[in-house]
């Protein structure tokens, strides 16, 4: 992982500073007292590319593209629409329902995992993987502590299990058919620049393309289907053996599926 330091807001209370020190030990980063330094000054002094910022009630990461912090984002609106009887393209593609077990291999900011958790409910399970420890820590903390939303959304957040691990390594540890579906939302080969809310995550995100080996493992682990989200028109669907689903005619993204029984040769 790229070099980072851990610090706090200016004039933190003792509890916040102690928490920052604990996180630095957990993640293997250097804890630096903020004092009156700017973020740019701290980066220059300590040769850091990113800063894990510990606030009183939340975490953030200061990157070259801005501050990354946890927020339900589109999950709030999507769950509101689901409760109102509307569909959701992701959950329709996953074909999940109450009790389903979902392996989300690309946690990111967590919006998809929250919606998945809402659908599968208390009887289901959502395990969300994130290879970058800073993203994983920020989102894990947010899912656990965010409180400014409706009870049903907060309950969905609390049920998501975040694991900081490379998805290929995790898949290889899973038993055959141990999850109903496996989902991937990799960084697009052609980023959608107008998605300015995603800019802070770009310097931290795993830009490696999915491999055929990863998809083979996903097919082994998934009981019913493997789903991938990608840019509309992406060559990744054909390269990795996914069938593109109809729908979302005017959307910049598309979903591809591999149903159980189909295996890459």
Q: Each residue of 60-84: pLDDT tens digit?
A: 999 988 899 999 889 999 999 999 9
Q: Is the distance from CB of 94 to CB of 172 less than 8 angstroms?
A: no
Residue 172 backbone dihedrals phi, psi, to 5 degrees: -65, -20
Confidence label for 264 from pLDDT (cuts 50, 70 and 90): very low
Residue 190 confidence (pLDDT): 46
Number of other residues whose CB lies within 10 A of the CB of residue 58: 15
The predicted model gives 217-232 an average pLDDT of 96
| CATH code of the region 74-259 | 3.40.50.150
Torsion 150-85-140-207 (CA) sign: negative
The pLDDT of residue 113 = 98
Mean pLDDT of the chain: 91
**3-state class of 144 per DSSP?**
helix
43 pLDDT more than 60 = yes
> Using CA of residue 5, residue 13, residue 143, residue 83, what is the dihedral sign?
negative
């Amino acid at each position: 992982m790229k070099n980072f330091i851990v610090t706090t807001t200016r004039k933190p209370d003792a509890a916040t500073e102690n928490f920052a020190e604990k996180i630095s030990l957990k993640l293997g980063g250097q804890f630096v007292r903020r004092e009156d330094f700017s973020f740019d000054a701290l980066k220059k002094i300590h040769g850091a590319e990113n800063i894990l910022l510990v606030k009183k009630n939340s975490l953030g990461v200061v990157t070259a593209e801005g501050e990354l912090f946890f927020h339900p984002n589109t999950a709030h609106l999507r769950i509101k629409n689901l409760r109102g009887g509307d569909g959701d393209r992701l959950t329709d593609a996953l074909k999940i329902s109450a009790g389903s077990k979902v392996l989300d291999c690309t946690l990111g900011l967590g919006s998809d995992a929250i919606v998945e958790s809402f659908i599968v409910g208390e009887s289901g399970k959502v395990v969300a993987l994130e290879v970058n420890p800073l993203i994983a820590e920020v989102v894990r903390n947010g899912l656990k502590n965010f409180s400014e939303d409706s009870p049903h959304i907060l309950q969905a957040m609390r049920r998501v299990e975040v694991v900081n691990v490379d998805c290929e390594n995790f898949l290889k540890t899973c038993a055959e058919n141990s999850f109903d579906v496996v989902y991937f939302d990799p960084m697009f080969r052609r980023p959608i620049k107008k998605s300015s809310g995603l800019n802070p995550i770009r310097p931290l995100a795993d830009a490696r393309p999915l491999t055929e080996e990863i998809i083979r493992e996903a097919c082994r682990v998934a009981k019913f289907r493997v789903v991938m989200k990608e840019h509309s028109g992406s060559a990744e669907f054909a390269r990795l053996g996914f069938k593109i689903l109809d729908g979302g005619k005017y959307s910049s993204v598309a979903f591809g599926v591999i149903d159980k029984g189909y295996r890459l040769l």
